[in-house]
Amino acid sequence: MRVLMYYSNQDVRVEEMPVPEIGPDELLMKVIASGICGSDVMEWYRRDKVPLVLGHEVAGEVVEAGKKVRKFKQGDRIAATHHVPCNTCHYCLSGHHTMCETLLGGSHFHPGGFAEYLRVPAINVDRGVFPVPEGLSYELASFMEPLACVIRGQRISRLKPGQTVLVLGSGIAGLLHIGLARALGAGLVIAADTIPFRLKKAEEMGAHLALKADEDLVTSLKKANEGRLADLVIICFEGFIKPAFETVKRGGTILFFGGASEGATIQKTINDIFWRTEVTLTSTYAGSPYDCDIALKLIKAGAVPVKKTITHRLSMEKAPEGFKAVCAPVEHECIKVIVEPQLHS
């Protein structure tokens, strides 16, 4: 079978591997749609593990089910998440499933989602594979995992209906946050970015207002929000850390969402952050099985219009260019790249 072998962001090769063999509790999945995630191009995070097959935003079809599998059968349409919690440790039992050592151990897929076929291990079959609802396309179902991460972030941030949400950064994560905040009843959802085509896309995703992230951002925010700053500020790009602290109201929350470049820091003093502010700083990682289930339901209902974020659909042969596009989004006007492993070009 064909796979995308990752060596670096600029060196992704189509190579051949054997189709995985499965055990009695496992599934063999034909991958039909696989999204490129921002974490897939974090070279510092990958450099000690290359070469490897990435890809964890997947949807496809069961082509073989192990003899002990009861939940799924050949021909079933499924979406799967790559890492799952144990459900029995201290972190799982206290509600922090994505801090579980089993989940943090990494992807259990073999070889990865950028392959024509992948082996889904028993633990994922048990709690990380979900039926794709009737009428939902594979490419939309592949958004289950990234939307689940966003759902968890807003849940941890305790977003309440009617609140003002400022999303700093309108790449794929920011756009999903915008769509979800609207779906959850935020009173005012504002996007901020420096890239015009992203601001336009933010409006398409439901932002009430799209602002240029410049030195007048605070003034523009107050003008739009009855003189107040934001209840919740979501940072989707490390370059917007400084304005996050300038735009959150007293008693508000800042969510640090997603990874950053190696060695990135927060250049603020404790007094600047906390003295007389009651500001909450929080973070989130990944999504739990519960979040995945909710994500699929929201996608099926059309509550979060994920299809609007897709800018590229590529075959395996053309997929290496997709990695370059994700790394240079302005040049390629790129937001979301969907790889279609079964497509030949």
Is 337 within 8 Å of 36 (Cβ atoms)? yes
pLDDT band at 143 (very low <50, low <70, confident <90, very high): very high
Give the phi and the psi of residue 56 in degrees, each rounded to 5: -140, 5
Nearest-angstrom CA–CA distance, 43 and 304: 30
d(CA 14, CA 64) in angstroms, rounded, equals 24
Confidence category of residue 110, pLDDT binned at 50, 70, 90 = very high
Least confident of 9-13, 74-78, 225-229, 269-273: 269-273
The mean pLDDT of 66-74, rounded to a whole number, is 98
User: What pLDDT was estimated at residue 267?
Assistant: 84
Q: Which of the four pLDDT bands, split at 50, 70 and 90, describes residue 296?
A: very high
Lowest-pLDDT range of 11-20, 99-108, 186-195, 263-272: 263-272
pLDDT band at 117 (very low <50, low <70, confident <90, very high): very high
Instruction: Report the share of the chain in percent with pLDDT over 90.
Output: 91
All residues at 6 or more sequence positions from 196 whose CB lies less than 8 Å from its CB, including other chains? none
Beta-carbon neighbour count of residue 209 at 10 Å?
A: 18
- CA dist 317 and 322 (Å) reads 10
User: Taking CA 285 as the corner, what is the angle to CA 250 and CA 96, rounded to the nearest 5 degrees?
Assistant: 90
Is pLDDT at 345 greater than 80 in this prediction? Answer: no
**Which amino acid, residue 56?**
H
User: 13 to each of 45, 82, 133, 321, 336, how far by Cα in Å?
Assistant: 19, 22, 33, 10, 20
Sequence-distant (≥ 6) Cβ neighbours of residue 30 within 8 angstroms:
60, 61, 62, 63, 116, 117, 342
Every domain of the chain and the residues it spans: 2-142+305-340, 149-284
**What's the average model confidence in pLDDT over 21-34?**
98
pLDDT value for 344: 85
* For residue 225, pLDDT beyond 90: yes
Q: pLDDT at residue 115 above 90?
A: yes
pLDDT at 31 over 90: yes
Q: What is the pLDDT of residue 160?
A: 97
pTM of the model: 0.97
- The CATH code that applies to domain 2-142+305-340 is 3.90.180.10
**81: nearest Cα among 116, 107, 104, 114:** 107
Helix 289-301 and helix 144-156, axial crossing angle in degrees, nearest 10: 110
CA distance 341 to 328: 23
Rounded mean pLDDT, 150-171: 98
Q: From residue 267, give the alpha-carbon distance in Å to each of 194, 224, 239, 261, 271.
A: 21, 28, 12, 15, 12
Does the 149-284 domain belong in CATH 3.40.1190.20? no
Tokens of 20: 């995985």
pLDDT at 21 over 80: yes
pLDDT at res. 7: 97
**What pLDDT does residue 214 have?**
86
CA 98 – CA 284 distance, rounded (Å):
8
Helix ranges (DSSP H) in 90-216? 90-93, 101-104, 122-127, 138-141, 144-156, 172-183, 196-204
- In this prediction, residue 183 carries a pLDDT of 98
* pLDDT tens digits, one per residue of 232-262: 999 999 999 999 999 999 999 999 998 898 8
Q: What is the mean pLDDT of the chain?
A: 96
C-alpha–C-alpha distance, residues 245 and 254, integer Å: 8
Check residue 108 and give its pLDDT: 87
Surface-to-core class of residue 17, CB atoms within 10 Å of its CB (0-12 exposed, 13-18 middle, 19+ buried): middle
